[in-house]
Amino acid sequence: MTDIPLEHVHVEPSEPIEGPAPAVVLLHGRGSNEQDLLQLSREFPDHLHVVSLRAPDPLQGGYTWYELDLSAGGLHKSQPHTEQFERSRELVRESIAAARDEYGLDAERIGLLGFSQGAITSLSLLLEDPDDYAWVVALHGYLAEEHESVEPDGIAGKPIFVGGGSMDQIIPSFRVERAAERLEALGADVTAQMYDAPHGVSPEELADVVSFVETHA
């Protein structure tokens, strides 16, 4: 048992280094679980800790970070449920802080990698606390409306990979592109790529993510 609030999987580095090691924290998508993104992380550098968190609320055999606000007119215009979104962000923060102590993570070299809801959550965490994360990978997500206009100190030069799919009917590519444009306007070091893919990570997208992580982790 650990004191980490969210259920999770921790994978030790296969090539340990002296002292605290860098880490990537994985945030899965709606209806999935903490096992989902581990297959991506198997391609990552061997010196990384991997901490894959499970969202707090059960949903259709998986888990969700929040319910959807569909009041704007359908899934393609959905927003996070405000209170549940805030609660999940706080749970992620608390879990990362506890994981730093539990597993000896380097607090200066923690990256976030999220897919769909996990990407939306990752970008919001970054905009609220940019100094807490060394880099972010946001796949098939968007900037939540409540974070579209924030202008935090500390985001200039921050490495961010933003990926989306031209055939994605869950998170349309225009929402991904708009997030990338906003992050660029804030001065972040944004790598944005769109793929001929639906709502999932294609082999081409994975290869680009691996390259990004190898560069910045």
pLDDT digits (tens, 9 = 90+) for 104-113: 999 999 999 9
pTM confidence score: 0.96
**pLDDT band with cut points at 50, 70 and 90 for residue 16:** confident
**Per-chain mean pLDDT for the chain:** 95
C-alpha closest to that of 41 among 30, 50, 33, 54: 50
Q: What are phi and psi of 164, to 5 degrees?
A: -150, 175
| Alpha-carbon distances of 64 from 84, 116, 134, 142, rounded to whole Å | 10, 11, 25, 16
For residues 158-183, give the mean pLDDT. 97
At residue 7, what is the residue type? E
Q: What percent of the chain has pLDDT over 90?
A: 90
131-134 long-range CB contacts below 8 Å, 24 or more apart? 132/93, 132/96, 133/158, 134/22, 134/108, 134/109, 134/110, 134/159, 134/216, 134/217
**pLDDT band with cut points at 50, 70 and 90 for residue 77:** confident
The SS3 call for residue 80 is strand
The predicted structure's pLDDT at residue 75: 79
Token readout for 159 is: 């490495």
Residue 72 has pLDDT above 80, yes or no: no
Residue 135 has pLDDT above 80, yes or no: yes
